[in-house]
Structure 1
Amino acid sequence: MENPQAPKAFPVSWDQFHRDCRALAWRLSGQGKWEAIVCITRGGLVPAAIVARELGIRLIETVCVASYHDYENQGELQVLKTIDRKVVDLNGGKGSGVLVIDDLVDTGKTARVVREMLPEAHFATVYAKPMGRPLVDTFVTEVSQDTWIYFPWDMGWQFQPPIATSTQG
Structure 2
Amino acid sequence: MTSPYDYSTRQGIYPISWEDFHGLCKALAQAAAVFDPAIILGVGRGGYYPATLIAHLLQAEIYPVRLSRRVNDVVTHERPQWMVHPPETVRGQRVLVVDEISSTGETLEMVKAEALRLGAADVRCAVLYAHTWGAAIPDAIGLITDALILNPWDREIYRDGAFQFHPEYVEALAQQGVAPSPDLLIPATPVGPLAKDTLGS
Range of TM-score over shorter length? 0.7 to 0.9
For 2:84, the equivalent position in structure 1 comes to 81
Q: Is the 8 A contact 1:47 1:102 kept in 2?
A: yes
2:83 partner amino acid: L
Query: In the aligned structure 2, how far is the partner of 1:68 from the partner of 1:37?
Result: 23
Between the aligned residues of both structures, percent identity stands at: 28
Matched, 1:159 2:165: yes
| Cα offset, 1:130, TM superposition | 2.1
* Structure 2 unaligned spans of 5+: 1-7, 117-121, 157-162, 169-201
Q: Which has the larger radius of gyration?
A: 2
Query: In the aligned structure 1, how far is the partner of 2:50 from the partner of 2:76?
Result: 21
Q: TM-score, normalised by structure 1?
A: 0.76
| Cα offset, 1:46, TM superposition | 0.9
| Cα offset, 1:133, TM superposition | 1.6
Query: In the aligned structure 2, how far is the partner of 1:126 from the partner of 1:107?
Result: 14
* Structure 1 unaligned spans of 5+: 163-169
Q: Is the 8 A contact 2:97 2:108 kept in 1?
A: no
For 2:140, the equivalent position in structure 1 comes to 138
Q: Is the 8 A contact 1:9 1:149 kept in 2?
A: yes
Per-residue deviation, residues 10-38 of structure 1 (Å, max 9, x unmatched): 22111211111111112222x12211101
Alpha carbons of 1:16 and 1:67: their partners in 2 closer, same or farther (altered >3 Å)?
A: same
Per-residue deviation, residues 95-114 of structure 1 (Å, max 9, x unmatched): x5111111111111211211
Query: In the aligned structure 2, how far is the partner of 1:13 from the partner of 1:64?
Result: 25
Matches within 5 A, 1:13-28: 13-28=17-32
Q: TM-score, normalised by structure 2?
A: 0.65
For 1:150, the equivalent position in structure 2 comes to 150
| Cα offset, 1:132, TM superposition | 1.9
For 1:100, the equivalent position in structure 2 comes to 97
Q: How many residues align?
A: 148
